Amino acid sequence: MTEAWLETLSSEECLSLLRANVIGRIGFTVDELPTVLPVNYRLVESQGTTPGAWIALRTRPGNVIDQPSIPVAFEIDGIDPFHRKGWSVLVRGNVHSVDRVAVGRRFDSEPWLTADRDAWLVIEPFEISGRRLHPAQQDWAFDARGYS
């Protein structure tokens, strides 16, 4: 049996996973304590004069993440506990408010909760990284856990 191993994901693989998903978790500090909340998001990419990718989301005005330029961590993942494999993408950056009128629907993250979600935010990444856990390979064609 071979050991499980971690693979570092390329920037393009990370962006592809961010494009394909809509739910993530945002981590930040409130009153010097770590806080993590689930959010709907959309990856917004620009190919113009300033190419880049931003995580767009909406929240209630005045909510704990609706603050001027706070540093955050944003994470998405996919986990297969039966096969003991999965992946994760981590975005670290700063949150900025965005003028809703100026962006139109381009930044719309389509939140599941829409009531009072009128504050439009983007995470401007300074780092995007990811990894994939590959499971250990069995030496035989069956898995003993299937007979428990």
Domains plus CATH for the chain? Answer: 5-139 (2.30.110.10)
pLDDT for 110 equals 60
User: What average pLDDT score do residues 22-47 get?
Assistant: 90
pLDDT exceeds cutoff 70 at 64: yes
pLDDT for 30 equals 86
Query: What distance in Å separates the CA atoms of residue 40 and residue 57, rounded to the nearest whole number?
Result: 6
pLDDT for 23 equals 92
Contact 28, 65 (CB under 8 A): yes
pLDDT for 78 equals 96
Instruction: Give percent of the chain with pLDDT exceeding 90.
Output: 41
Contact 122, 95 (CB under 8 A): yes
pLDDT for 27 equals 95
Burial class of residue 5, CB neighbours in 10 A (0-12, 13-18, 19+): exposed
State the pTM of this model: 0.80
Q: Which amino acid is at 120?
A: W
pLDDT for 129 equals 96
Question: How does the average pLDDT of the chain come out, rounded?
Answer: 82
pLDDT category at 104 given cuts 50, 70, 90 is low
User: What average pLDDT score do residues 101-110 get?
Assistant: 56
- If we measure between CA atoms, which residue out of 56, 34, 63 comes closest to residue 125? 56
Quickly tell me which residue has 């809703």 as its tokens: 100
Give Cα separations from 15 to 2, 21, 57, 80 (angstroms).
Answer: 30, 10, 16, 21
Q: Which amino acid is at 45?
A: E
pLDDT for 31 equals 86
Residues 6 or more apart in contact with residue 112 via CB below 8 angstroms: 40
pLDDT for 55 equals 92
User: What average pLDDT score do residues 110-131 get?
Assistant: 78
Contact 22, 78 (CB under 8 A): no
